[in-house]
Each structure stands twice: as structure tokens, then as C-alpha cells.
Structure 1
Amino acid sequence: MDLHTTIYNRVATDLPVLLVGPSLGGNATHQWTKVAAALIDEARVVFVDLPGSGLSEPWDDADPATLDTVAAAVAGLAREQKAELGEDTPVYYAGLSISGAIGLHLARDYADLFAGIVVVASAATVGEPARWIARAEQVEETGTQQLVDETVKRWFTPDFRAEQPAVVDIIMEGLSTSEDHSYAQLCRALAVHDLRADLPYIQPPIMMIAGERDSSTPIANVELVAETAPRGELHVVEGASHQVTVMRPLQVAALISTMLRRTQWNRVVSESAD
């Protein structure tokens, strides 16, 4: 699986790398640019498009419909960044919604590649399997456009929709233009996503960021990850619903900055002790 990437600040070759991924039916550039702008002096930010969205190719049915498949492709991108910038370059990952779930797969299976994982508006399980399968079948039949009216109500608060209609329109365009089969395959991947039993064994730092008004991601599911993963932590962003990175980009950037600085400091201290 080849995932398209866009590097926000390509000339930043002496900074840690931060890979960022979008929500289901989202565009990474649209959902993460304001966060990237706030982190321009702290990380080289790489936007990662999921299959069938942004500029990535549609889902290849030779690949199993699991988040492990996508995580393997993201891990490949991390290795490419290390090959370009140096093997000692710290690489972090931050994902929104489904990409946050992918982050947990990365933390479990590729702990040696990532210095830290940020999970925004997601958890070790997401929704009900039967509903994801039903949505996949629905989208295969009628497309993603028919999801927009219902989804926008979950993704944004009424106040934000009224105050920032142009921003909302841009984000929803990503959903309406997603390739239908790829979207359906990602739904099927979410149907089998369940890392609850693996959480006690995940070693990288895991920062969980939840929107206070996110009806799509029950806070109890987010708390489970933060409390069970050995290096987990939880931050709740006031007033935000599901699209936390769009509604509160500066708060998200500040939290990611905290992780970058803390883990880099710990790394320096550890190396000095050696």
C-alpha cells in the first residue's frame, strides 16, 4: 500500500518528524495545517493521506481490510524519513479519528520506530462492528456524499458551523469526494479494530486527546487507553467535538509540543546517563 504524503516544511531537516493522519473520509492537509503551522519550529510535519482520500491511490483489494495494513504503510513512511534525515531522527505520529486508531497499531507493532504517539478522538475500539459493516455496504451502494448531512452534525458543534462555515465546507468536501470503495474498506477495518487486550504491553508514550463534546468517541473508551497503556495520558479539549484538530488547532499543537519536548528531554537525560 502506497500512501501519498505532503511535507509541510520540507527544509526542516534538523527537527523531529511528525507524521499526521486524517479522519475517515478526511483530508490530512485540511485537517492538520493549522496545527502544523503552530509547530513549524518544532517538527517536520508530514501529512499522510489514507487510501482513496486526498491524493492517495484507492484501496488495493490485494491488501487485507485491517488497520494493520495501513499501519504497515505508515511505518514504511517513518523508515523513509529516517533514511533521508538520519536513523537517529525521532519520529512521532499523530492521528485524528481512524488515524488515531492506526496510531495504536503503530505503538503496538512498531515501537522501535516511534518516539511517541498522539491519538486524537479515537480509542482501542471505535463504534460497533455491525454498524461499520452496514456503513461499508451503504457507501458501496450510494457513495459518501449521502453521509455529509449527518456527519457534519457529529464532527462540528452548531456554534462552530455558524461561525466558520467555509472551514466546515472544506472539511466536508473531503468526505464527499472520498473514493467509495476505499472508504468502505476502511469501515471494514474499523469493524475488526480492537486493541484492548494489547494496551498493557504498548511501550511508546501515548497521548490521548479527546473533544469535550465528541459524541462519536465515548470518553470511557479514551480513558481506558490512557489508564491501561503504561505511558498513557489523557487531555480533554474544552468545547471541541470530533474534529478537534480543526476546531482547536492551537490547543492540539500545544499538547503535541509538550510531548515533543518532554520525550526529547528524557532522551537527552538517558543518553547522558549512559
Structure 2
Amino acid sequence: MELHTTVYNRTTPAERVLLVGPSLGGNATHQWTKVAAELIHDARVVFIDLPGTGLGEAWDDADEPTLDTVAAAVADVARGLKQELGEGVPVYYAGLSISGAIGLHIARDYPELFAGVVVVASAATVGEPARWLERAEQVEATGTQQLVEETTKRWFTPAFRAEQPDVVNIIMEGLSVSDDHSYAQLCRALAAHDVRADLPYIQTPVMMIAGERDSSTPIANVELVAETAPRGELHVVADAAHQVPVMRPAEVARLIRQMMERPRWNRVVSESGD
């Protein structure tokens, strides 16, 4: 698998790289641009498109539908950047929702490539396997457009939908135009995602960011990762639903910057807000 990438600020003198990935059916550029703007002088920010979203190629069925497959492709992106910029350049990764789950596979399998991983609105397990397999079949049959209305309610608070309808519409367009088969394959990958048994052995720094009002990701599941991973950390962002980087970009950027600048990690649990 080869993932499409877009560099936000190629000419930055910053000596760090931050890879960012979208939610399921999301467009990385739309979901992460405001965060990238906050970090424009802190790191070279690279948007990663998942298969079938943004400018990403559709899922190749030669690739097994697992998050390990996608994590390996993200690792290839990191290797390419290190070859371009120098092996000593630290590479960080931040992922939203499914991309956050991918981040845990990255943290487990590629500690030599990544200086730290940020998991936003995700956990070591996500939902129920049977529900993901059911959704995969549903989308193969009727497409992603029929998911938009219900997903909008989970992704954003009522107040945010009322105050910033244009932003919400742009984000939801990414879901409506996603490639149906690619979306279904990613659902199948989520059905198989479970790294709970691996958490005690993950040595990569892992920052967990949760939305206070995220109904999609039970906070107990997020806390499990932060409390079990040896270098785990948890921050809860006030008044944010599932689309935390869209709703609270300055706060997410501040937390990512904090991770990139911290020389040593200790477990910290905090409540975050502007």
C-alpha cells in the first residue's frame, strides 16, 4: 500500500515532522489544516490520505484489510521523510479516530521511526466487531452518503453545528464522497483492531486526546490506554465531540506542541480547555 501525502508547509525551517491522519471517511486536509496552521513553525506537517478518501487511491484488494497494513504504509512515509531530511529528524504522528487507532499499531511496531504518537478520539478497541462488519456490508450495498446525517450528530455538538455550519458541511462532504469499497475495507480493519494485550509493551510515547462530549469513544477505553502504556498520557478537551481537531484546533495544537517539546515523559492525566 502506498499512501498519498500532502506537505502543508514544505519551506518551514522546523527540524521536526508531524504526520497527521483523518477519521474514517474523513479528509485529512480539511480535518487538520487549522491545527497545522497553529504548528506552522513547530514542525513540517504532512497530511496523509487513507485509501479512498481525499486524494488517496482506492483500496487495493491485494492488501489485507487490517490496520497493520495501513500502519506499515505510514511507516514507509516516515522512512521516506527521514531519507529526505536526515535520519536525525524526529518524526511524530497524530491520528483522528481510525487514524488514532492506526497510531497505536505504529507506536507498537515502529518505535525506531517515531518519536511520539498522538491518538485523538480513539482507543485500543473501537466499537464492536460485528457492527463494523455490518456497516461494511451496508456501505458496499448503499454507499456512504446514507451515513452522513447520523454521523454529523456524533461528530459535532449541536452548538458547533449551529455556529459553524459551513465547516461542518465541508467535513461531511469528505464522508459523502469517500470510495465505498475503501470505506468498507477500513471498517473490516477496525473490526479486527484490538491491541489491548500489547499496551504494556509499547515504549513509544503515546498522548491520548479525548473529546469531553465524544459519544463515539467511551472515556474508559481511552483511559485504559493512557494508564496501561508505560509512556501514556491523557488529556480531555472540554466541550469537544468526536471531531476534536476541527472543533478545538488551537487546543489540539498546543497539546501536540507540548509533546514534541517535552524531553521526558511522565504519565499525566489532565482536563484541558482554552
Taking structure 1 as the reference length, the TM-score comes to 0.96
Residues 265, 131 of structure 1: CA spacing in aligned structure 2 closer, same or farther, 3 A cutoff?
closer
Equivalent runs, 1:188-199 vs 2, <5 Å: 188-199=188-199
CA distance in 1, matches of 2:198, 2:184: 26
Match of 1:47? 47
CA distance in 2, matches of 1:197, 1:252: 28
Letter matched to residue 105 of structure 2:
H
Match of 1:226? 226
Deviation at 1:265, TM superposition (A): 10
Uncovered stretches (5+) of structure 1, i.e. residues with no partner: 267-274
Q: Is the 8 A contact 2:25 2:178 kept in 1?
A: yes
CA distance in 2, matches of 1:206, 1:124: 12
Q: Is the 8 A contact 1:133 1:187 kept in 2?
A: yes
Match of 2:160? 160
Equivalent runs, 1:1-274 vs 2, <5 Å: 1-263=1-263
CA distance in 1, matches of 2:62, 2:7: 28
Q: Is the 8 A contact 2:14 2:42 kept in 1?
A: no
Residues 39, 131 of structure 1: CA spacing in aligned structure 2 closer, same or farther, 3 A cutoff?
same
Deviation at 1:15, TM superposition (A): 1.9
Residues 14, 156 of structure 1: CA spacing in aligned structure 2 closer, same or farther, 3 A cutoff?
closer
CA distance in 2, matches of 1:78, 1:152: 32
Q: Is the 8 A contact 2:210 2:219 kept in 1?
A: yes
Q: Is the 8 A contact 1:115 1:263 kept in 2?
A: no
Q: Is the 8 A contact 1:13 1:85 kept in 2?
A: no
Deviation at 1:264, TM superposition (A): 8.2
> What is the DSSP-based 3-state SS (H/G/I as helix, E as strand, rest coil) of the residue aligned with 2:262?
helix
Match of 1:271? none
Runs of 4+ in 1 over 4 A off after TM superposition: none
CA distance in 1, matches of 2:142, 2:150: 15
Uncovered stretches (5+) of structure 2, i.e. residues with no partner: 267-274
Letter matched to residue 146 of structure 1:
Q
CA distance in 2, matches of 1:52, 1:86: 31
Deviation at 1:2, TM superposition (A): 1.1
> What is the DSSP-based 3-state SS (H/G/I as helix, E as strand, rest coil) of the residue aligned with 1:159?
helix
Deviation at 1:241, TM superposition (A): 0.2
CA distance in 2, matches of 1:183, 1:147: 11
Larger helix fraction of residues: 1
Deviation at 1:12, TM superposition (A): 2.0
Q: Is the 8 A contact 1:155 1:241 kept in 2?
A: yes
Quote the sequence identity (%): 79
> What is the DSSP-based 3-state SS (H/G/I as helix, E as strand, rest coil) of the residue aligned with 2:263?
helix
> What is the DSSP-based 3-state SS (H/G/I as helix, E as strand, rest coil) of the residue aligned with 1:83?
helix
CA distance in 2, matches of 1:264, 1:37: 26
Letter matched to residue 111 of structure 2:
A
Q: Is the 8 A contact 1:199 1:225 kept in 2?
A: yes
Deviation at 1:94, TM superposition (A): 0.1
CA distance in 2, matches of 1:200, 1:265: 16
CA distance in 2, matches of 1:14, 1:42: 6
> What is the DSSP-based 3-state SS (H/G/I as helix, E as strand, rest coil) of the residue aligned with 1:51?
coil
> What is the DSSP-based 3-state SS (H/G/I as helix, E as strand, rest coil) of the residue aligned with 1:263?
coil
